[in-house]
Structure 1
Amino acid sequence: MGQNYCLTADLDTLEISERVRYISIPTTSLEEVSNYDGVPPFLGKKTSKRLRAIFFPYEVDDGVITRKFARTFISKCKHLRLLDLSWGCFEELPSSICNLKQLRALNLSESKRLKMLPDTICELQSLLVLDIGGCLELCELPKNMNRLVSLRFLYITTKQKSLQETGIQYLENLHFLGLEACDNLQVLFEGTCQLTHLRKLDIRNCRGPLSLPFGELVALESLNIASCKLALTSKNKSNFPLNLRVLVIDKSEQVMELLRCLEESACTLESFSIYDCPSLTAIPEWLPNHTHLGLIHLIRCPNLSFMPQGIRSLTALKELCIEHCGELSKRCELETGEDWNIIAHVPRIELDLIEVQWTDD
């Protein structure tokens, strides 16, 4: 029965069954598609009206997802729950997007030509997921994003300097916020914030310096900072998230400063990962205070020279991965390393891509 509801179609598929609700289009280019005018033929048939989801499992070439493609799907398929227009080659999203009242997820990621979103997108009050990451030409977000009252997941690339006027700070149900390649962004928002359910913040490739209202993100549990420069003032240093469970820092020259911000934090960390940070010269002395730590990854941090003695007390630690960390890698060698006795209690240890100790306990 499932096969009746789900279908893998091509851009030149002529017709679909009226029972089909979910379509996957694995076509990646127009090379083997003849007479394509920007719209799959099956969309012109009445049987497409009841479609619930359309997605592309692979990256598509330029010219596959056109403005005509987007406009036709939006006008013909009023009952869509998921619409995947990633890698689109249109500059504007049709304002008729607001007609998709039941839409739950909209993927516009990697649409390199997309310059603006219509204000009507804010009328999608059932929308749970909005992905506009990798839209490098997107000038700004609509000013009434706060009307997306159901939104749980938001991933953004924008040319804006501030998101203050977008209203995203009032999205009470938002659980995940991602920022990628927002080169001009300096201020997330200031003042009143109602992101009381935001659990995860992911910031990548933002030149900054970017000011973040850490003190307002009272529910934040996971923080991922990659290739970014943050504006670290005395105020936001003292308001750094206190209840983090997952911390990932990647390619940061501020790594030591960021770690000092956590010195007075509650002892809640369960996962601690640092990648590609030559400026990391010492594992923080406070790390052993986080007795719930189950995972530590130290990858390509060549200036680490020893493991703190306190690591021995981390009885909940199940996995330790050390890769190309200079002197530290040598000191943690199986049985012969000077720091082996400090880490020997850890069930799973990977050292320079070799599993030197790997058990299920």
Structure 2
Amino acid sequence: MPLYPYLQELALTDNYRLKTFQRTQQMKMMDPFSPFSQLTTLKVERMENLQSLSEVLTSLISLKYLSVGECPKLKFFCDGIQHLTCLQELQIRNCQELVDIYDDGEGNMWQALKSLRILEFSGLPRLETLPDGLQQLTSLEKLSLCRCKSLVDIPQWIHNLKSLQELHIWGSDKLTSLPKEGMRQLTSLHTLTIGDCLFYSCDEDFYRLDLQSLRILEFTNLPRLEALPAFLLQLTSLQELRLHYCNSFVGIPERIFDNFRSLLQKLDIWDSHKFTSLPVEVMHQLTSLQHLSIRDCPNYDGGDGNEWQALQSLRFLHFEDLPQLETLPAGLQRVISLNKLTLDCCKSLVGIPGWIGNLKLLQDLTISGCSNSLTSLPEGMRQLTSLQELYISHCLFYKGDGNMWQGLKSFRILWFSDLPQLETLSKGLQQLTSLEELRLYNCNSLVGIPEWIGNLKSLRTLTIWGCSNLTSLPEGMRQLTSLQTLSIRDCPVLKQRCERETGGEDWHKVSHIPRLYLFGAQLQPSTSSSARGKIFKTVRRLQLCNK
């Protein structure tokens, strides 16, 4: 292996490279720097015969990032890392036989890691508890324990990790509780994630955790979680609450947000099959809520509308895969702070109400995968004077009433994707003089682009993909003097007509566009040999792969 004394990043991915690496470590150099003395990043992966890290960790005095993964025979870990005094991040993943991550009982090995900020143990089936020496990692900010199936407890001494800000625990089937006294002293902890565990039938002390600094709490795939625990009442700093894939979750108790009604900013409820609604009393307390996402909840119908009136800070609303949702809740029209609305895979949605025009601050609207009954947008859309982006996909939407486009003076981005009924573009679109980006994906019934497209004087990007029946472009394309990029893909006839080399009939309509992409190939003026040589003078990183 060449002697690179200034090498900073290295990945070892098989046993042959390991031997070469070791031989290089043993060499003496005339340069004042020894081999790898400047190395800051080392990844050791898929070493089938590696049994001890002492074979690798020698003279790596500058190492800051170490990742060890998928080494099936690795059994001994501690020896060698006591010299990594600059180490900031350590990851150990998918080492099935790793049993020795402990030390001499006095923590001397871990004590040397004064700079360690991030520690991840993942896929270590033999890990039963945390090494006692870890309590000396006073600089540790993030601790992740993932898929450690034999982990049975978190020691009380975790409170010694005074700098700990994030704690993530996933897939530890035997872990039934967190240490009450140890957790309450983690005064810097702001993020707690618990997933794939059986916590909530085991330990009532967990309900009484006193985490005054906690800002983000996530529960994921907890099959026994039916309601939020009472300890949430003590989390006066909580800003984000995420409930993902908790199929037994029924709802939120009315008094749960009493103490922090003005602080919670983000609420996610995903894949909770028994969840039916948010109580009016709860919604009225969420006066600071800015982000609400409800996804894959088959029994949720949006409520009667009254509960939405208090959400005067709501900016982002995401509804996805809600089969009971037939229309938007009427109370939503009073949430005038809303900036972004996403409706995805709501199969029963029959229409967008005309009052959507009351959402004067709405900037981004996405409608995707909704029912066959949704074929157009209401005329009230014209009142959305702040709307900048509209995405419509996988619907039977055909083109919309031309009048609805008149008031959209701020409009910049329009996407039509997978619209089988779209045959042409609505005449009203020519009024979108501020439009900068138009994308047409998989609209197989689209047979023509109107001549008036030349009126879109601000258009900079036009993408046409998968529109197989579109066979030509209009002369109006020549008027698009601001157009910088035209991309055409999976449109065989149109592609041929736009080719310069074959004298395509539409080439004169697109020849003025600086970046023209046909099937992924960019057409541009030929480059002289001297110009090509200059291209590589600024290259800083080059990777060639056998693909």
TM-score normalized with structure 2 length: 0.56
Structure 1 residue 135 corresponds to structure 2 residue 278: no
Relative distance call for 1:150 and 1:34 in structure 2 (3 A) is same
* Among candidates 228, 241, 249, match of residue 416 of structure 2: 249
* Among candidates 25, 31, 44, match of residue 168 of structure 2: 25
Structure 2 CA distance, aligned partners of 1:74 and 1:44? 8
Structure 2 CA distance, aligned partners of 1:216 and 1:79? 38
* Among candidates 236, 239, 252, match of residue 81 of structure 1: 239
Structure 1 CA distance, aligned partners of 2:302 and 2:481? 48
Q: Which residue does the alignment assign to 2:319?
A: 156
Structure 1 residue 181 corresponds to structure 2 residue 345: yes
Q: Percent identity?
A: 26
* Among candidates 270, 273, 282, match of residue 109 of structure 1: 270
Does the aligned pair in 1 maintain the 2:312–2:337 contact within 8 Å?
yes
**RMSD of aligned Cα (Å):** 3.4
Q: Which residue does the alignment assign to 1:294?
A: 460
Computing the radius of gyration from Cα coordinates, the structure with the larger value is 2
What's the offset of the Cα at 1:294? 1.2
Structure 1 residue 224 corresponds to structure 2 residue 367: no
Does the aligned pair in 2 maintain the 1:309–1:342 contact within 8 Å?
yes
Relative distance call for 1:266 and 1:188 in structure 2 (3 A) is closer
Structure 1 residue 71 corresponds to structure 2 residue 229: yes
Structure 1 CA distance, aligned partners of 2:418 and 2:142? 42
What's the offset of the Cα at 1:94? 1.3
Q: Which residue does the alignment assign to 1:7?
A: 142
Q: Secondary structure at the match of 1:169?
A: helix
Does the aligned pair in 1 maintain the 2:294–2:319 contact within 8 Å?
yes
Structure 1 CA distance, aligned partners of 2:518 and 2:272? 40
Q: Secondary structure at the match of 2:244?
A: coil
Does the aligned pair in 2 maintain the 1:298–1:322 contact within 8 Å?
yes
Q: Secondary structure at the match of 1:279?
A: coil
Task: Single out whichever of 153-162 and 106-115 deviates more from structure 2.
Answer: 106-115
Relative distance call for 1:54 and 1:194 in structure 2 (3 A) is same
Does the aligned pair in 2 maintain the 1:134–1:180 contact within 8 Å?
no
Structure 1 residue 305 corresponds to structure 2 residue 466: no
Structure 2 CA distance, aligned partners of 1:215 and 1:172? 16
Structure 2 CA distance, aligned partners of 1:284 and 1:65? 57
Relative distance call for 1:214 and 1:72 in structure 2 (3 A) is same
What's the offset of the Cα at 1:50? 1.8
1:98-151 deviation per Cα after TM superposition (whole angstroms, max 9, x unaligned): 334201111223444433222213420101111113333323335221210001
What's the offset of the Cα at 1:345? 2.7
Q: Which residue does the alignment assign to 2:285?
A: 123
The aligned amino acid for 1:288 is G
Q: Which residue does the alignment assign to 1:54?
A: 217
Q: Which residue does the alignment assign to 2:511?
A: 344
Relative distance call for 1:297 and 1:21 in structure 2 (3 A) is farther
Unpaired runs of 5+ residues, structure 1, are none
Whose relative contact order is higher, 1 or 2, with alpha carbons under 8 Å and at least 6 apart? Answer: 1
Q: Where do residues 262-301 of structure 1 align in structure 2 (5 Å cutoff)?
A: 262-301=428-467
TM-score normalized with structure 1 length: 0.82
Q: Secondary structure at the match of 1:93?
A: coil
What's the offset of the Cα at 1:295? 0.9
